[in-house]
Structure 1
């Protein structure tokens, strides 16, 4: 008889009185690793021959069949989410009396499993900072008071980048207004979907939203090195920072991907950054490769080049103004008349009067032929 590899599972015990289907592990490496991460193992590690029974899957994860007792199959990208803890694998009577709070979210890289106790009194549990369960070991929290004197709990995730700790995700929880604000690398996240709550009314809702925030992937932006040469240009709604292009309206988180390859699933940017790539970066990159000295570079000059061009235009403008001013001055006209008179012929017997400076008398002299 086949046996389920999940620890605490009672599918082959006396508590199970109905037929149970068993499913093999996925062949896709990334999905297999996701199963391996969430499944508690009985005796040995998850392997290609391991089996998981249907009791650990949501009903919507199993394909329907017209045959009453026909073989059942899993849908693509399904992940076991139910009865993965000792508490959830008690008798059927206990589980039927509990309000199920387990939730499954479809995100790039597989499904997110929220490990939530299925107790109905969790909904009514009082909101308390000290009792809040953080999503994982990499998360920490600190109590603060904001400008309105409201109690605020700051939950943040720390990762190691180049041997230095860096805060990647932050959730600011206001227990007075019951609002949550999310940030990724200190940039505020816009509204994403209904799973990432912005308001809450119970500890269960708050913990569920934090778990989703922990599992959902962050937007990597556009990191392709070929677009680095465009950093010299100024675009109205995009910016280049630390080797990455981002849209000003970047969603910061990636909750949906149009998967074509494995890279799309694990490395794709958010919809806003992908749109920036299609409509701005790629077209301008193609133009620079077609003709490096074409109109493209005239339209999008670096800041230093724009300032130099403006200075040159100002100099040309001053030169033209001086030229126009000289043409309009009457002294220039009188100088031309005097120059013409100086070159007129003088009669040899003509008497010439020489003008002297003030205080000197005028002297007259005559020119006669030496003949």
Structure 2
């Protein structure tokens, strides 16, 4: 009798640290103490295995404190400030290429009925901002089941991420290994891409395309990007959210999207399919997309892009121009009574002239894959 379902349930309960977030946040190191006594400082330095002129790391128990951990001693004008590190020993800690960051791997092991696994977390210590972040860079699972004849079938799957930091960019390359398509362990490691570190934020700015084997820029709009899950967006968003049917924005669908409002002003509308943001309509003039915002007139657009033509949408009857290279649709919410374009006998051929030059953009749609 097969018991694969039970194994999958165990897997999901043990390994729940998904790494698909496009934006993560560093956490501040906890201050443990301050130290000015030169003799005590010299004692801790003598026990340190990792040090330079500005800091050193000590493993053990602080004098007069019931703390057994790794500690960062960071120099200041009066002496040293002591910070508690998120691990208990400093073995194998190294500098990244950018020596403002320290790297430390921490290993975890888990086991349950008919399954065992190992995972490794790469902890990044930001020495300037005195903060840290943990990223899972290795996950290996071995599980087994018995077929109807009581023969054991073993499954192995794993992912491994290689990373480095140069300047303030984190480059990640993740490899996946599995047999019989048992489980895609790549979901448990940070995904391949390039991430930028800005203050306490780690943001993905390039993703890897398996189709053309290259890194592609990620289009960030405000604090989100296409491809981000709506759950991640809602978890980090601090603005008002209203559910609005997609047909209000020209889709032949009664499913719901999300209108984002800030200070009683609509900023943008998110189109979501299978819990992923696939397109966005921007209406706020404060948000630029490729240097264009909704304060632009049709005349300004055609001066920059003289070969463009206006078209009429068959569902909404609004007019629009499409910038193919930027995947942008610039929308003017007109109807038959106030057209800004002049059209010939076949309006599907696009405009042949312009009769209203000062009409501003109503909506900028960033068109993503699967957004139509």
Q: Same fold (TM over 0.5)?
A: no
TM-score by length of 2: 0.26
Greater C-alpha Rg: 1
Structure with the higher helix share, 1 or 2 = 1
Structure with the higher strand share, 1 or 2 = 2
TM-score by length of 1: 0.27
